[in-house]
């Protein structure tokens, strides 16, 4: 009996009937493909387009005269490799075009099942995460997403990236270090709970007089002689 990570039943279905087997393949892996696309681009609409393009290319490959060998195919890694190559090609194409309008001006997809405050909070979190991920190198970004969003094993990440396992680990480590540094710079500085606020600076106008919101008065000290 095949487990949740065992694709043998999917490969058998593809071998028996391409169309029905591909429907099962799509149902099994559309979520990780879309999630990776969303984190890699930070755009819901782009993620939808890239997910559709990924499965279209996968189907064309399987229906071609030289399909990938099914007995050795790792379908999840194969699909995510197609996706990340498609993302890179999409970035190169957009780099040659004038930039579109501000992403903040684009209409958001409404979610009527969530509390509006929670939806706004998630939106801000996703925007911040997308901005931080965009600061990474492509290899670091892909490695971090595959490891810490999809929770893939190192050997599968290395296969997707086309690198050695040690190199994949290095990309993950360096990417996380950069994300932590960016998170620290975004964190607002809060005063220590026992630290007293400093008085506002004053400007001396004349001897014995100052200007400011509230003039500072000198306390009177009484000296009692025994």
Q: Give the span between the Cα atoms of 28 and 32, in whole angstroms.
A: 9
Quickly tell me which residue has 């931080």 as its tokens.
132
Q: Give the span between the Cα atoms of 124 and 149, in whole angstroms.
A: 18
User: Residue 163 in contact with residue 84, Cβ under 8 Å?
Assistant: no
Query: So what's the pLDDT on residue 79?
Result: 97
Q: Give the span between the Cα atoms of 203 and 205, in whole angstroms.
A: 6
Question: Count of CB atoms within 10 A of residue 68's CB?
Answer: 13
Instruction: Say if residue 58 is exposed, middle or buried (CB neighbours under 10 Å; 0-12, 13-18, 19+).
Output: buried
3-state SS of the chain: helix, strand, coil percent to 5?
60, 5, 35
User: Residue 112 in contact with residue 20, Cβ under 8 Å?
Assistant: no
Query: So what's the pLDDT on residue 225?
Result: 47
Q: Which of 104-108, 136-140, 176-180 has the lowest mean pLDDT?
A: 104-108
Percent of the chain with pLDDT over 90: 54
Query: So what's the pLDDT on residue 130?
Result: 77
Q: pLDDT at residue 155 above 90?
A: yes
Q: Rounded mean pLDDT of 97-117?
A: 47
Specify the DSSP class assigned to residue 17. Answer: -
Q: Rounded mean pLDDT of 57-82?
A: 96
Confidence bin at 115 (pLDDT 50/70/90): low
Q: Give the span between the Cα atoms of 51 and 27, in whole angstroms.
A: 12
Query: So what's the pLDDT on residue 222?
Result: 47
Query: So what's the pLDDT on residue 17?
Result: 96
The structure tokens listed for 157 are 């990440």
User: Residue 172 in contact with residue 161, Cβ under 8 Å?
Assistant: no
Query: So what's the pLDDT on residue 184?
Result: 84
Question: Count of CB atoms within 10 A of residue 126's CB?
Answer: 14
User: Residue 140 in contact with residue 98, Cβ under 8 Å?
Assistant: no
Residue, of 131 and 13, whose pLDDT is higher: 13
Q: Give the span between the Cα atoms of 18 and 21, in whole angstroms.
A: 5
Domains and CATH numbers, the chain: 1-95 (1.10.1740.10), 115-187 (1.10.10.10)
User: Residue 169 in contact with residue 139, Cβ under 8 Å?
Assistant: no
- Please write the tens of the pLDDT for every residue from 4-60: 468 999 999 999 999 999 999 999 999 999 999 999 988 899 999 999 999 999 999
């Amino acid at each position: 009996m095949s487990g949740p990570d065992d694709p043998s039943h999917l490969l058998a279905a593809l071998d028996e009937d391409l169309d029905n087997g591909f429907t099962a393949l799509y149902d099994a892996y559309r979520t990780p493909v879309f999630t990776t696309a969303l984190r890699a681009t930070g755009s819901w609409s782009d993620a939808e387009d890239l997910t559709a393009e990924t499965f279209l290319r996968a189907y064309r490959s399987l229906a071609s005269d030289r399909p990938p060998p099914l007995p050795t195919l790792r379908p999840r890694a194969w699909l995510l490799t197609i996706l990340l190559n498609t993302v890179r090609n999409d970035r190169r194409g957009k780099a040659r075009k004038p930039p579109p309008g501000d992403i903040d001006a684009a209409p958001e997809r409404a979610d009527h099942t969530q509390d509006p405050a929670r939806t706004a909070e998630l939106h801000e979190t996703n925007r911040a995460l997308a901005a931080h991920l965009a600061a990474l190198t492509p290899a670091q970004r892909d490695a971090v997403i595959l490891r810490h969003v999809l929770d893939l094993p190192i050997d599968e990440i290395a296969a997707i990236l086309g690198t050695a396992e040690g190199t994949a680990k290095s990309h993950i480590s360096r990417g996380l270090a950069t994300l932590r540094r960016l998170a620290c710079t975004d964190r607002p500085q809060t005063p220590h709970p026992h630290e007293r606020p400093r008085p506002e600076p004053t400007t001396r106008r004349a001897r014995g007089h100052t200007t400011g919101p509230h003039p500072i008065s000198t306390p009177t000290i009484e000296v009692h002689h025994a």
